Chain A
Amino acid sequence: MEDPQRKSGAGGAPAAPAAPRHPIEDVPPLHRVFALAAIFIVGIAFWMVFWQNGSTLALWAKNNTDWTLFTDRPVAGMIQAAINPAFIILFGIPVASLWKRLDRRGLEPSTPMKMCLGLVCASAASAVLWAAALAGATRGASPASGSSGRTPSSRSATVPFGDGPFVGIEGGTPTIPGAR
């Protein structure tokens, strides 16, 4: 017998007297704990990459990108903080409807597979930055030591505090390369 409530979880009290067992009840508890631990450990690796946007990617954007793209003023810094939430709003509904459409054809990937795809996407994004850093290095824009990292671009002079001391991360305290 096919119960539409079957997927809603084992916690809810079903109205039917002979409730069908949720398949999770057939999984040994130790397996459930191992599955959670595996997801959490993989999650740690994901957050390690993702939260670079708060530190090193901001430094990369400050020192190694052109802030005046499409404009004559350095406005990129103003819109930079809006990119992450804007992407969530713009792509949340299309991606959710994509899963729905795939589900209708029975092709929706499982949740671990979606996490795996997300990690591959994060990896691809890092690879784009890797290629960008390599391309900059061949032009001499990115110093091999990476200690300074400021691009000597003619237009970077228009960036406020662009000529100020480089503030990097070194054990959590700001450092000035000239002093090292």
Chain B
Amino acid sequence: MMGGWFLSLSLGGKFSGVIGVYWNRWSHATFFAALTALSLAAAGVLFVLLRFLRKSMPGV
């Protein structure tokens, strides 16, 4: 489980660099809009899965 957690950390770091490349290609406003959309989409995915996650992780 901790291995999966560190794997997600490493992939997150890698992909943060992948989207960091677009800092120089897009305008700053577009870049921050993309960051906003990305985190909001992740929150939406989590919200959709909330019922399943609560059932799969009882007690937390």
Contacts and interface: CB of A to CB of B under 8 A. Distances in A.
Given A43-B8, A116-B43, A146-B28, A126 B36 contact: yes
Given A51-B12, A123-B43, A130-B33, A145 B27 contact: yes
Interface in B17-42: 17, 19-21, 23-33, 35-36, 38-42
The range of chain B's interface size is 35 or more
A2 interface: no
A130 B23 CA distance: 13
Given A24-B59, A44-B12, A119 B39 contact: yes
A132 B45 CA distance: 27
A59 B23 contact: yes
A55 B42 CA distance: 21
B33 to A, nearest CB: 5
Contact of A40 (B8, B15, B16, B41): B8
B60 A110 contact: yes
Contact of B32 (A41, A110, A115, A133): A133
Given A55-B20, A115-B46, A119-B40, A130 B59 contact: no
Main SS of the interface on chain A? helix
A175 interface: yes
A146 B27 contact: yes
A136 to B, nearest CB: 8
A24 to B, nearest CB: 6
Interface stretch (A30-38, A77-85, A87-95, A152-160): A30-38
Given A47-B12, A133-B28, 13 more contacts: A26-B58, A34-B56, A44-B15, A46-B42, A47-B15, A51-B12, A52-B16, A55-B16, A110-B60, A119-B42, A133-B31, A136-B28, A146-B26
The 9 closest A-B pairs by CB, nearest first: A47-B12, A45-B42, A23-B58, A119-B43, A130-B32, A35-B56, A51-B16, A133-B29, A40-B8
9 contacts: A24-B57, A43-B8, A48-B15, A110-B53, A110-B57, A112-B49, A115-B46, A123-B39, A129-B35
